[in-house]
């Protein structure tokens, strides 16, 4: 048999040789990650120089060379969210088995849009969805779909809620014949996805009712009910309430039980955005925090956050998966996807927005097996303990103010010793100081934290979704923050003096 000769094919021997070389480099990278800097602090201009500005390649190049080049660029010029002192935003360390899973998935390349194109992959995704439902403590009869992340998981549920609850037939009529304005409710801490959703799906951002929060950053449930009643009086049509289970700034979990009851009273869709926090429901002593989750009509969660999947993996779970089909399922002549003998066909293109779909379930499915429920329970509990340790150590330190602690998120700020307020309430300077400190820390490469505004205070925010972080990393982080805080205060003080003398002249 002759084989066709193309520039893209690789021989078995070549694939092995290149693959082994690459795996060696990656293993070395993972094994030494703790000794590297979290970021190199290189500027975009420096990186562009490194990359060069060659035009589109006219002719091909040896795979060995370009792979080695790509590995050098990525392994040596990236921000390392797998570093034990990466504590910023909510981007977790990625499970090594996820990297192998992605390689395997890409090698077979099933298209998990249709069952006939991905026979075993579809079954694996179905099992993954069932396990995720069990993981967070809802009925395994929830159905759903894996998507690219939390935003997409929330969008997928948002449209489903409108289809289910809009007074007119949204699927056929859109919003054209809707006499009453459709409105959605969420707390002030809700992630920015909801504005995008309101815009994308035609409601407009004014249709989002931002409900105030209480002292613990949870949705004020009385205010929620008041707002719904006002809207009903004013010819609006309430559709859904979005509860947050682990808000991005402080880790607060809304009172799911109370919100579920309100949704029942007013016949609203109850959606829970648990993109970050809901996996913590696997920890038995935290179960009461998530009481009411079983009532959710839909839930968004992000395996690429606290389940440590490499990007991208999000998930929408829906109590009655028929609602997903009611929203997304269409049948066209050019699909011959429904003929699988007597068995019920499960085509994922009918459950969400994508048509062709990659096999992102594999990395989630493998990690769930490698670690098991108990393993995740222990890792998530330890992440929370480390965040609590950071809070306690900050509290003890004379130059730090510990501000909030929720799930695995701690916020704190630097306050100089014997600080004499520069302005009326002393807050303005502290906000300037801590913002400058944050920028310094993020460039410095010793530790990576992010920021949060809490009660008008500019805070440093550490979120531990990192199985590599240790107690030692937490104490070293305190040391780095205080050290850099002192230097930044000095620098700003000198500036102030300089500015003051300038003003006097």
Ligand X SMILES: *Cc1c(COP(=O)(O)O)cnc(C)c1O
- Binding residues for ligand X, per CB under 6 A? 90, 149-151, 191, 193, 244, 248, 273, 275-276, 302, 314
Strand partners, 269: 240
Nearest distance in Å: CB 140, ligand X? 24
Nearest of 474, 481, 273, 454 to residue 384 by alpha carbon: 474
Contacts of residue 313, Cβ cutoff 8 Å, sequence gap at least 6: 146, 148, 149, 302, 303, 304, 307, 360, 363, 364
Closer residue to ligand X, CB minimum distance, 367 or 478: 367
E strand or H helix that includes residue 163:
helix 150-165
Q: Are 302 and 313 in contact (CB under 8 A)?
A: yes
Q: What is the maximum alpha-carbon separation in the chain?
A: 90
Nearest distance in Å: CB 2, ligand X? 47
Closer residue to ligand X, CB minimum distance, 56 or 192: 192
E strand or H helix that includes residue 385:
helix 361-396
Nearest distance in Å: CB 255, ligand X? 16
Closer residue to ligand X, CB minimum distance, 209 or 271: 271
Nearest distance in Å: CB 498, ligand X? 41
First to last CA, the chain: 90
Contacts of residue 493, Cβ cutoff 8 Å, sequence gap at least 6: none
Strand partners, 336: none
Closer residue to ligand X, CB minimum distance, 188 or 471: 188
Closer residue to ligand X, CB minimum distance, 147 or 268: 147
Cα(9)–Cα(63) distance, integer angstroms: 10
E strand or H helix that includes residue 107:
helix 96-108
Q: Are 435 and 457 in contact (CB under 8 A)?
A: no
Q: Which residue has the tokens 């979704």?
A: 465
Closer residue to ligand X, CB minimum distance, 273 or 295: 273
Closer residue to ligand X, CB minimum distance, 384 or 488: 384
Nearest distance in Å: CB 302, ligand X? 5
Nearest distance in Å: CB 203, ligand X? 18
Closer residue to ligand X, CB minimum distance, 91 or 118: 91
Cα(366)–Cα(369) distance, integer angstroms: 5
Nearest distance in Å: CB 151, ligand X? 4
- β pairing state of 400-406 and 409-414: antiparallel
Closer residue to ligand X, CB minimum distance, 244 or 394: 244
Nearest distance in Å: CB 243, ligand X? 10
Nearest distance in Å: CB 304, ligand X? 6
Nearest of 167, 168, 154 to residue 208 by alpha carbon: 154
Closer residue to ligand X, CB minimum distance, 118 or 151: 151
Nearest distance in Å: CB 455, ligand X? 20
Closer residue to ligand X, CB minimum distance, 147 or 400: 147
Nearest of 110, 118, 129 to residue 340 by alpha carbon: 118
Cα(384)–Cα(109) distance, integer angstroms: 37
Q: Are 52 and 461 in contact (CB under 8 A)?
A: no
Closer residue to ligand X, CB minimum distance, 304 or 489: 304
Nearest of 402, 253, 302, 389 to residue 90 by alpha carbon: 302
Q: Are 485 and 399 in contact (CB under 8 A)?
A: yes
Q: Which residue has the tokens 């929370």?
A: 384
Cα(469)–Cα(484) distance, integer angstroms: 21
Nearest of 258, 110, 116, 238 to residue 181 by alpha carbon: 238
Nearest distance in Å: CB 273, ligand X? 5
- Angle (CA) 277-279-281 rounded to 5° is 95
Cα(182)–Cα(173) distance, integer angstroms: 14
Position closest to ligand X via CB: 150
Radius of gyration of the chain (CA): 25
Closer residue to ligand X, CB minimum distance, 272 or 415: 272
Nearest distance in Å: CB 53, ligand X? 31
The two tokens of residue 218 are 């949870």
Nearest distance in Å: CB 363, ligand X? 15
């Amino acid at each position: 048999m002759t084989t066709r000769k193309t520039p893209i094919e690789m021989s078995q021997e070549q694939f092995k040789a290149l693959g082994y070389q690459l795996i060696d480099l990656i293993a070395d990278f993972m094994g030494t990650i703790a000794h590297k800097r979290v970021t190199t602090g290189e500027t975009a201009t420096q990186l562009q120089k490194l990359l060069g500005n060659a035009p589109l390649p006219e002719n091909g190049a040896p795979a060995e060379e370009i792979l080695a080049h790509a590995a050098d660029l990525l392994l040596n010029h990236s921000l390392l969210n797998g570093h034990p002192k990466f504590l910023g935003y909510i981007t977790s360390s990625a499970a090594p088995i996820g990297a192998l899973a992605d390689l395997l998935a890409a090698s077979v390349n099933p298209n998990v849009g249709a069952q006939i194109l991905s026979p075993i992959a579809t079954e694996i995704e179905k099992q993954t969805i069932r396990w995720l439902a069990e993981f967070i403590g809802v009925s395994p009869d929830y159905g759903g779909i894996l998507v690219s992340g939390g935003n997409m998981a929330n969008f997928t549920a948002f449209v489903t809620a409108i289809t289910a609850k809009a007074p007119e037939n949204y699927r056929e009529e859109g919003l054209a014949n809707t006499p009453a304005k459709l409105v959605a409710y969420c707390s002030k801490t809700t992630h920015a996805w909801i504005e995008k959703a309101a815009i994308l799906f035609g409601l407009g951002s004014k249709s989002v009712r931002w409900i105030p929060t209480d002292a613990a950053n949870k949705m004020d449930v009385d205010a929620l009910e008041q707002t719904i009643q006002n809207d009903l009086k004013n010819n609006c049509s309430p559709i859904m309430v979005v509860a947050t289970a682990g808000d991005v700034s402080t880790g607060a979990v809304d009172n799911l039980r109370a919100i579920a009851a309100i949704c029942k009273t007013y016949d609203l869709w109850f959606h829970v955005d648990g993109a970050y926090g809901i996996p913590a429901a696997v920890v038995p002593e935290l179960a009461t925090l998530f009481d009411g989750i079983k009532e959710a009509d839909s839930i968004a969660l992000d395996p690429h956050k606290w389940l440590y999947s490499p990007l991208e993996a999000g998930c929408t779970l829906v109590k009655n998966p028929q609602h997903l089909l009611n929203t997304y399922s269409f049948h066209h002549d050019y699909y011959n996807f429904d003929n699988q003998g007597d068995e019920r066909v499960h085509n994922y293109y009918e459950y969400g927005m994508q048509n062709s779909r990659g096999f992102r379930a594999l990395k989630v499915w493998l990690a769930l097996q490698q670690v098991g429920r108990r393993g995740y329970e222990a890792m998530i509990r330890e992440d929370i303990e480390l965040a609590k340790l950071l809070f306690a150590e900050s509290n003890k330190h004379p130059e730090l103010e510990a501000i909030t602690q929720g799930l695995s998120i701690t916020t704190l700020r630097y306050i100089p010793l014997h600080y004499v307020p520069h302005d009326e309430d002393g807050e303005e300077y502290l906000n300037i100081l801590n913002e400058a400190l944050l920028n310094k820390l993020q460039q410095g490469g010793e530790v990576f934290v992010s920021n949060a505004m809490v009660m008008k205070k500019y805070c440093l925010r550490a979120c531990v979704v990192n199985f590599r972080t240790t107690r030692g990393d937490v104490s070293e982080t305190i040391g780095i923050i205080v050290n850099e805080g002192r230097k930044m205060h000095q620098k700003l003080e000198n500036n102030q003096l300089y500015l003051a003398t300038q003003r006097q002249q």
